[in-house]
Amino acid sequence: MNLPAGTQHAPRVLAAIVDGSLTREREAMSLSQHGWTPVRDTSGSAAPSTPGVVGAAIRFEGIVRRKELQTEPHEEGAKCEQDLLALEYQTYDPMAERGLMALSREVAERHGLIALSALHSRGRVHVGEVSFVLIVESAHRAEALAAMADFIDRLKQDVPIWKFPVWR
């Protein structure tokens, strides 16, 4: 594969399941537990990277909405009639974290990224709180955008995490 300049090395990848919502504090703690220090406070992302190599950094946050789309067939009756209090995320451990890690590695390599970190909540996350963070760093924007879309699509297929509504 013809990788962009600056990505000859294997991408740096981090993936973790974190209990509760992804506050800035829990995110920082999780990154540091895995030996990562943020490159810059803005993106709060990767392990030490050669300065000047990253040209695009994208941070995606999934946030719990008050009106959750009903996707589970058995909940048909409750369709969008009530407001959510929270989502309860159930993970099949340790397959969920391993799956998140495998997906992270795969997407980072396929798109020639410099770094990718993915954090997902387990347990209760209230409306307005963050349940998923994906940070991607690459030489140019095209691969960062493509990697992000690719990752999120695959996450919903291959990583054993389920969400349950907690009604108000």
Partner 1 sequence: MQLEVLIFGGAALAAKTDRVTVEVSGAPTVREVLAALHAQHPALKFALPPPETGRLAVNQAFAKGERLIVPGPLEQGGDEVALITLVGGG
What residues make contact with a copy of itself under the rule CB under 8 A?
A: 5-6, 24, 40-43, 51-67, 69, 83-84, 127-128, 130, 139-141, 144-145, 148-149, 152
Query: Of 24, 34, 75, 82, which one interacts with partner 1 (CB under 8 A)?
Result: 75
Distance of closest approach, residue 104 Cβ to a copy of itself, in angstroms: 17
Residue 155 in the binding site for partner 1 (CB under 8 A): yes
Q: Measure Cα distances from 83 to 67, 89, 106, 123, 164 in Å.
A: 6, 17, 37, 19, 13
Instruction: Write out the binding residues for partner 1, residues 82-141 only, by CB under 8 A.
Output: 89-90, 92, 94-96, 98, 120, 131-132, 141
Instruction: Rule CB under 8 A: say whether 79 interacts with partner 1.
Output: no
Rounded-to-integer distance, Cα 95 and Cα 102, Å: 10
Helices (H), 37-140: 95-110
Which CB atom, from 6 or from 160, has the smaller least distance to partner 1?
160
Binding of partner 1 by 159 (CB under 8 A): yes
Closest by CA to 21, choosing from 123, 136, 94, 135, is 123
Give every CB contact of residue 163 below 8 A, 6+ residues apart in sequence: 68, 87, 88, 89, 90, 131
Q: Answer whether the bond into residue 94 is a cis peptide, omega within 30°.
A: yes
Chain positions contacting partner 1, by CB under 8 A: 62, 71-75, 89-90, 92, 94-96, 98, 120, 131-132, 141, 152, 155-164
